[in-house]
Amino acid sequence: MTVFRKSKKLFGDAQRVIPGGVNSPVRAFKAVGANPIFISKAKGAYLYDVDGNRYIDYCLSWGPMILGHAHREVLDQVRKVMVNGTSFGIPTPLETHLARMIVQAIGSIEKVRLVSSGTEAVMTAIRLARGCTGRDKIIKFIGCYHGHVDHMLVQAGSGATTLGSPSSPGVPRDFTKHTLLLPYNDPEMIGRAFSKYRDQIAAVIIEPIAGNMGVVPPADGFLKTIRRLCTKNGSILIFDEVITGFRIRYGSVQEPFGVKADLTCLGKIIGGGFPIGACGGKKGLMDRLAPSGQIYQAGTLSGNPVCVAAGIATLKLLKSKGTYPALGRAAKELCDGIGKALSGRDIKHTINRVGSMFTVFFNPDPVIDYVSAVKSDVGRYARFHSAMLGEGIYLPPSQFEACFVSTEHKHKDMGKTIAAARKASL
């Protein structure tokens, strides 16, 4: 019987001094109706909580820990750099090194600005798109999440192609009146939006493989349709690859999809577990950013040597041959096993997987967009999460998130996870 006594006490302590007891809402386990576990340490594929329980971790800090936790070679590089100072607020050669690795890995990126979070990367991309086009409107897709910047916290307007309204208190209506929310994987709707707003659209921002409604891949041709419409109307195409960047392959998903973005947002993996984000694109766009251009963007700790050292070490290790096929094989073995376990118990579900990111939806039908995703049985997911936690398996505490596999997840970990799925009380 898994005990959470110390975590429960720590959660009470935390709630007295931190809103909701957490520093990011999803960590509070509200979506699975439980108290969060508090972590004491992590190594490889495993988390260890303050009660001494060990978990196989499929959340991996929401994606960054693709090499597993506390990777020796990443920490060695961080140690080497940090003893020489941690932040100077003036350039270091390390930033150029990481920027060059990103440029060499992603064909659509000629220059890149490093920042400290995915949210900042998105903020930068949208301001750049608006500044370069002189237009205001932005298209985003229902179910995609691009960080907590005001104009991205939008709920769909009343009609199909009406502009959005705030989805959070504290966001003035004026801040979202230029944001249009469209259904993911619906080429007809985006065609109608461009017909209606044509040369008013500064940019379209999309998760090329959605991870924030659970994993939802793009329908065939959907991304190419968006690319064609953006090119035709002089709008900027922004791929938010904060999750997918260096997750599916060494670089972006633009190459396998045959769609080049004008701007790409990155984060998570490129920081190797340290705070980072990045916005990259063609020189003609990127050079419009201050100080080479007039479009302002800044950050005290942007590109700081510690985070950048972790990112460089991580990308170097990811570059080694065979990394991504092995990640894909491990995730396939896991998803096939979980699928068989649940089907064997006649539990209706669907699993979406791309490479080493996946979601088990408790949904009898295909999940192809937000409307189909939210038909999932979130109560059953909560019971699944709790049962798996009790068996030492840590899944994201929400049905609408992505699971990830790292290079440290071994065959025995998959076997234990599949066995747990076979007996989880649902």
Catalytic annotation, residues: 145, 240, 268
Rounded least distance, CB 238 to ligand KE4, Å: 11
Q: Which of residues 199-228 bind ligand KE4 (CB under 6 A)?
A: 207, 211-212
User: Using CB atoms, what's the residue nearest to ligand KE4?
Assistant: 118
Q: Which stretch binds ligand KE4 (CB under 6 A): 133-141, 235-243, 320-328, 343-351?
A: 235-243
Tokens of 269: 């993996």
Per rule CB under 6 A, is residue 38 in the interface with ligand KE4? Answer: no
Closer Cβ to ligand KE4, 65 or 342, answer by number: 65
Given candidates 49, 57, 95, 240, which one binds ligand KE4 under the rule CB under 6 A? 240
Rounded least distance, CB 127 to ligand KE4, Å: 15
Per rule CB under 6 A, is residue 252 in the interface with ligand KE4? Answer: no
Rounded least distance, CB 156 to ligand KE4, Å: 19
Per rule CB under 6 A, is residue 119 in the interface with ligand KE4? Answer: yes
Given candidates 95, 186, 377, 401, which one binds ligand KE4 under the rule CB under 6 A? 401
Rounded least distance, CB 152 to ligand KE4, Å: 9
Given candidates 29, 62, 194, 222, which one binds ligand KE4 under the rule CB under 6 A? 62
Give the count of residues interacting with ligand KE4 (CB under 6 A).
Answer: 19
Per rule CB under 6 A, is residue 57 in the interface with ligand KE4? Answer: no
Closer Cβ to ligand KE4, 212 or 359, answer by number: 212
Per rule CB under 6 A, is residue 242 in the interface with ligand KE4? Answer: yes
- Looking at residue 297, its amino acid is Q
Rounded least distance, CB 22 to ligand KE4, Å: 9
Contacts of 89 (CB under 8 A, 6+ apart): 300
Rounded least distance, CB 87 to ligand KE4, Å: 18
Given candidates 118, 166, 280, 305, which one binds ligand KE4 under the rule CB under 6 A? 118
Binding residues for ligand KE4, rule: CB under 6 A, are 24, 26, 62, 117-119, 122, 145-147, 207, 211-212, 240, 242-243, 267, 277, 401
